[in-house]
Structure 1
Amino acid sequence: MALRIGIVLGSTRPGRRGEQIASWVLDTARAHGGADYELVDLAHHRLGNLDEGGNPNLRQYQHPHTRDWSRVIDGLDGYVFLVPEYNHSFPGALKNALDYVYREWNDKAAGIVSYGGWAAGVRAAEALRLVLAELQVATVRAQPAIPAIPAFATGAFVPGEGLDASVHGMLDQVIAWAEALRGVREGRAGAAA
């Protein structure tokens, strides 16, 4: 079965630029191949502030939006997070979405594409790596970073020179790790049976 990789748009801010980047990354990933790719836009999931009373490790969800989110995340083998930098970190909406579930993230691979200002979102990506490690998500080394000022100089997203090669390199790593970690998840499921 083909790997399923979610392109997670990590901002819900009105007027966000991430939609343009997400569309480009999704097209680039589909051209790259090696997996089935789908966009996971946090703005479409309406999670609101974390409203589950129980520990997400137990997967005893009370609300339909949490159960839906659980199915989306559980059904993916890996992720590419598109993360803008807000005040030296990643958006609260993304942290909230990560916190809603736990086991669904475990033993999966992730790449990060960051964007923002001249620093290109790298501080947000590094902060995100710490949270993903706690969720048992293995992040790959390759990290495309997009400085928003030249990328949006015309108002529309224009990928900089070499960005496509950087995304392809990251995808190669995500695919390899996602395939290996699928074996880990299958082994864990077999041991539990």
Structure 2
Amino acid sequence: MTELRIITASTRPGRVGPAVSAWLEALCASLPSIQARVLDLAAYDFPIFDEPKHPRLGQYEHALTRRWANDIASADAFVFVLPEYDHMPPASLINAITYLSKEWQYKPAGLVSYGGLSAGLRAAQALKPMLAALKMVPLVESVAIPMIADKVSNGVLENTQPLQQAAEQMLIELQRWSGALKTLR
């Protein structure tokens, strides 16, 4: 069983990230080998990184950081659901990632990006070296959702065959990489 954490990156009002994360979580529910749970960064309400000690030490002073560390450490793999803001990942995501170090290591990371015409791909590409710097393995397989405003209605993402196929392929690879990296964790 692969313990997957789907991380909803956007925290701003009017965001559609929760709809995208819910769609992926529902898809995971049909796969008996994956146990998925959504971690919505808006629910954590992180301040700008404020731990007094470096994250690599794992000596977290704040209860919020300890909760975040437990949620991340319990995962075998991640999917980051992210929009593109000014060609970059949301600051909320970069800030949340910065809080931890060892909890991220030797785990695969899938990306589900969304946006306008570019489908958030520039943000996804910018995020990959950041993940690799923390010893995560960003996958080639991903999901890119263009023109997201046309695909979400009443808080629900329209499930299309191309989206579902891309997500299923990404999830298959997440499981493979998770198993392969387990000996390093």
Please state if 1:167 is matched with 2:143. no
Cα distance per residue 1:70-124 (max 9 Å; x no partner):
1111111110110100110110000000000001000001100000011000001
**Post-superposition shift, 1:140?**
1.1
Partner AA of 1:182 in structure 2: K
Report how many aligned residue pairs link the two structures.
184
Distance in 2 between residues matched to 1:85 and 1:123, nearest whole Å:
7
Distance in 2 between residues matched to 1:99 and 1:150, nearest whole Å:
33
Partner AA of 1:108 in structure 2: K
Uncovered stretches (5+) of structure 2, i.e. residues with no partner: none
Partner AA of 2:164 in structure 1: D
1:77–1:156: structure 2 CA closer, same or farther, 3 Å change rule? closer
Moved over 2 A (4+): 152-157
State the identity %: 36
Whether the aligned pair in 2 keeps the contact of 1:32 and 1:168 (CA below 8 Å) is no
Please state if 1:104 is matched with 2:133. no
Aligned to 1:180: 180
Structural RMSD (CA): 1.5
Structural mapping, 1:130-141, within 5 Å: 130-141=129-140
TM-score by length of 2: 0.94
Distance in 2 between residues matched to 1:166 and 1:81, nearest whole Å:
15
Partner AA of 1:31 in structure 2: S
Distance in 2 between residues matched to 1:144 and 1:56, nearest whole Å:
30
**Post-superposition shift, 1:180?**
1.1
Distance in 1 between residues matched to 2:137 and 2:44, nearest whole Å:
24
Partner AA of 1:20 in structure 2: A
Whether the aligned pair in 1 keeps the contact of 2:106 and 2:136 (CA below 8 Å) is yes
Distance in 1 between residues matched to 2:133 and 2:68, nearest whole Å:
19
Aligned to 1:188: none
> Higher mean Cα deviation, 47-56 or 154-163?
154-163
Q: Which of structures 1 and 2 has the bigger CA Rg? A: 1
Uncovered stretches (5+) of structure 1, i.e. residues with no partner: 186-193
Secondary structure of the structure 2 residue equivalent to 1:52: coil
**Post-superposition shift, 1:58?**
0.5
TM-score by length of 1: 0.91
Distance in 2 between residues matched to 1:50 and 1:87, nearest whole Å:
22
